């Protein structure tokens, strides 16, 4: 594998993990030696966060071996064991208590900070860590963390991970630690990782900022579709090579999607151009426009903005027509878990189904049945509870709901994530047909392969659109380049 001196502090071998039908990790090996910084990069769905959760002990793998500090840790490996062995992690969803100050938050993770004078010790502990990592930080460690800016909160959480009382810190996992930091602070953190490494601490660093990784990591592991696509010393890589490794090498793949030109209809969505956003979004009836880029870089915000803007006059974003929303997070934003398939389907169209305010069960049933047939929703009966359906079929119901609402604009919020391939293909065809009938789609997807269904693709990076790609010019490499801000238009 790698040939650095000394045994690795942590070694993962053959790690696999599936969530239902979705294979998040398929036989991943990873080793991090003390004093080394390994950076894991990859596009959406590569499996980075799943791997990190397994490393941190918050998730158990389906199969594979984990070796930490020389011990083979089996089923007993959890957050507390990991912490006892010296593993610390800073994930993107912060785990600070917003009502407690920085020093009190340090106390929470260090049971030894107790007894008289604990506050002074905690203050010194977190204060020293902050000063070492972010000199000149200006954070008042006595203020409740909830009152700090998001960047400062991230600094506190990062600093806390490096504090130690009775147990030494051996490995620190940093998942997008610079996402909310400005350039100076990010730089300080990266320089500190060198210092930490000099003290023998191992670091796993996940970031989408390729220059950061190339400049500071020792080794870069590229992941793709749940597997390790490549492992290399950072010095031997550059951005182009990384992008290449992250993408799927596509041979002569036939382009699905529109062959002939389709008649473009009225403008449905028009975003005003701004000096810092030179590529505004436009959408016409009959178009399928994709929103790509790394997850959480502004795509969802745009969908929400369009949803909110429907029916109102807004200068910055004009929306002409009715909207329907299909969410990919069906548990929190999609399904009504106590209801049947039928009720979940018709809920988006009640006003049209009702006569004099009353709904007729016969009409509803007919409508739901029609959509069941049209989308081939696999359920013995539309009276079945929706939670009895597979994930893919539940998503079909959500799509049916949006179609049934007969909206002009359909907003897709990554609805096909984790759905089986067969269902996906069926839904792609449905989208095609609906577009041909004049509906407009704004389709946010975290899977680049789906973008072939789109007429045009906007790629997002850190809240702005870095590239607009026509179907004919669409290549995965171009998408990935724009996803990491290395595309044609650099807006900052």
Find the shortest distance in angstroms from Cβ 395 to other proteins.
Answer: 13
Does 251 engage in binding with other proteins (CB under 8 A)?
A: no
Which segments of 133-281 are extended strands (E)? 171-175, 202-206, 219-224, 227-233, 267-271
| CB neighbour class for 414 (10 Å; exposed up to 12, middle 13-18, buried from 19) | buried
Does 214 engage in binding with other proteins (CB under 8 A)?
A: no
316 vs 338, which CB is nearer to other proteins?
338
Q: Can you tell me the distance from the alpha carbon of 163 to that of 207, in angstroms, rounded to the nearest whole number?
A: 22
Find the shortest distance in angstroms from Cβ 354 to other proteins.
Answer: 5
Q: CA 404 → CA 310, 332, 372, 457, distances in Å?
A: 18, 21, 11, 26
Q: In sequence order, which ranges of 99-219 are alpha helices (DSSP H)?
A: 102-109, 118-133, 150-161, 183-198, 210-216
Residues 384-413 that bind other proteins (CB under 8 A): 401, 405
Yes or no: say if 271 and 464 are a contact pair by the CB < 8 Å rule: no
Yes or no: say if 31 and 10 are a contact pair by the CB < 8 Å rule: yes
Yes or no: say if 171 and 204 are a contact pair by the CB < 8 Å rule: yes
104 vs 175, which CB is nearer to other proteins?
104
Piece in contact with other proteins (CB under 8 A), picked from 78-86, 203-211, 260-268, 287-295: 78-86
Which x/- pattern over 271-310 shows residues binding other proteins (rule: CB under 8 A)? ------------------------------------x---
- CA 75 from centre of chain: 28
Residues 30-59 that bind other proteins (CB under 8 A): 58
Which x/- pattern over 87-116 shows residues binding other proteins (rule: CB under 8 A)? --------xxxxxx---xx-xxx-x-xxx-
DSSP for residue 282: E
Find the shortest distance in angstroms from Cβ 435 to other proteins.
Answer: 21
Which x/- pattern over 331-370 shows residues binding other proteins (rule: CB under 8 A)? -xxxxxxxx---x---xx-xx--x--xxx-x---------
* Residue 308: strand, helix, or coil: helix
Q: Can you tell me the distance from the alpha carbon of 267 to that of 55, in angstroms, rounded to the nearest whole number?
A: 48
Q: Can you tell me the distance from the alpha carbon of 28 to that of 405, in angstroms, rounded to the nearest whole number?
A: 44
80 vs 314, which CB is nearer to other proteins?
80
Element (H, E) at 311: none
Piece in contact with other proteins (CB under 8 A), picked from 215-223, 250-258, 319-327, 442-450: 319-327
Does 325 engage in binding with other proteins (CB under 8 A)?
A: yes
Q: Can you tell me the distance from the alpha carbon of 336 to that of 466, in angstroms, rounded to the nearest whole number?
A: 37
DSSP for residue 262: P
Q: Can you tell me the distance from the alpha carbon of 319 to that of 315, in angstroms, rounded to the nearest whole number?
A: 10
Piece in contact with other proteins (CB under 8 A), picked from 24-32, 161-169, 326-334, 374-382: 326-334
234 vs 317, which CB is nearer to other proteins?
317
Does 383 engage in binding with other proteins (CB under 8 A)?
A: no
Does 79 engage in binding with other proteins (CB under 8 A)?
A: yes
Does 146 engage in binding with other proteins (CB under 8 A)?
A: yes
322 vs 486, which CB is nearer to other proteins?
322
Does 119 engage in binding with other proteins (CB under 8 A)?
A: yes
Does 327 engage in binding with other proteins (CB under 8 A)?
A: yes
Establish how many alpha carbons lie within 13 A of residue 380's alpha carbon, considering only the half-sphere containing its beta carbon.
Answer: 3
Q: CA 344 → CA 210, 375, 405, distances in Å?
A: 43, 14, 12
Residues 440-469 that bind other proteins (CB under 8 A): none
Q: How many residues bind other proteins (CB under 8 A)?
A: 47
Find the shortest distance in angstroms from Cβ 129 to other proteins.
Answer: 17
Residues within the interface to other proteins (CB under 8 A): 58, 79-80, 83, 95-100, 104-105, 107-109, 111, 113-115, 118-119, 144, 146, 307, 324-325, 327, 332-339, 343, 347-348, 350-351, 354, 357-359, 361, 401, 405
């Amino acid at each position: 594998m790698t040939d650095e001196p000394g045994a690795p502090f942590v070694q993962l071998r053959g790690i696999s993990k599936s969530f239902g039908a979705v294979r998040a990790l398929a036989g991943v090996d990873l080793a991090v030696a003390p004093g080394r910084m390994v950076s894991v990069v990859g596009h959406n769905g590569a499996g980075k966060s799943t791997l990190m959760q397994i490393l941190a002990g918050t998730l158990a793998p389906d199969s594979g071996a984990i070796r930490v500090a020389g011990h083979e840790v089996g089923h007993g490996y959890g957050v507390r064991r990991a912490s006892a062995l010296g593993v610390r992690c800073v994930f993107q969803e912060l785990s600070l208590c917003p009502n407690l100050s920085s020093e009190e938050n340090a106390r929470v993770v260090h049971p030894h900070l107790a007894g008289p004078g604990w506050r002074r010790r905690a203050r010194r502990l977190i204060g020293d860590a902050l000063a070492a990592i972010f000199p000149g930080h200006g954070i008042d460690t006595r203020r409740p963390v909830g009152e700090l800016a998001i960047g400062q909160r991230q600094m506190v959480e990062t600093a806390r991970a490096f504090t130690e009382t009775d147990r030494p810190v051996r490995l620190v996992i940093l998942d997008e630690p610079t996402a909310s930091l400005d350039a100076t602070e990010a730089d300080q953190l990266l320089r500190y990782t060198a210092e930490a490494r000099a003290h023998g601490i191992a670091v796993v660093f996940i970031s989408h900022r390729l220059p950061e990784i190339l400049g500071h990591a020792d080794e870069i592991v590229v992941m793709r579709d749940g597997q390790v696509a490549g492992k290399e010393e950072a010095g031997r890589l550059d951005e182009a090579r990384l992008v290449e490794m992250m993408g799927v090498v596509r041979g002569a793949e036939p382009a699905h999607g529109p062959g002939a030109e389709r008649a473009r209809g009225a403008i449905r969505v028009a975003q005003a151009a701004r000096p810092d956003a030179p590529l505004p979004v436009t959408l016409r009836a009959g178009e399928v426009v994709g929103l790509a880029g790394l997850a959480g870089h502004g795509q969802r915000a745009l969908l929400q903005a369009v949803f909110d803007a429907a029916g109102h006059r807004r200068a910055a974003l004009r929306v002409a027509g009715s909207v329907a929303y299909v969410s990919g997070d069906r548990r929190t934003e999609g399904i009504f878990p106590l209801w049947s398939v039928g009720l979940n389907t018709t809920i988006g169209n009640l006003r049209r189904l009702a006569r004099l305010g009353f709904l007729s069960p016969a009409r509803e049933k007919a409508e739901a049945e029609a959509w069941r047939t049209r989308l081939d929703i696999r359920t013995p009966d539309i009276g079945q509870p929706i939670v009895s359906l597979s994930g893919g079929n539940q998503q079909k119901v959500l799509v049916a709901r949006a179609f049934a609402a007969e909206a002009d604009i359909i907003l897709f919020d990554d609805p096909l994530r984790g759905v089986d391939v067969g269902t996906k293909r069926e839904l792609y065809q449905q989208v095609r047909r609906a577009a041909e009938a004049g509906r407009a789609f704004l389709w946010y997807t975290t899977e680049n392969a789906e973008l072939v269904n789109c007429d045009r693709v906007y790629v997002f990076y850190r809240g702005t659109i870095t590239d607009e790609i026509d179907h004919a010019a669409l290549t995965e490499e171009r998408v990935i380049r724009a996803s990491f801000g290395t595309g044609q238009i650099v807006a900052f």
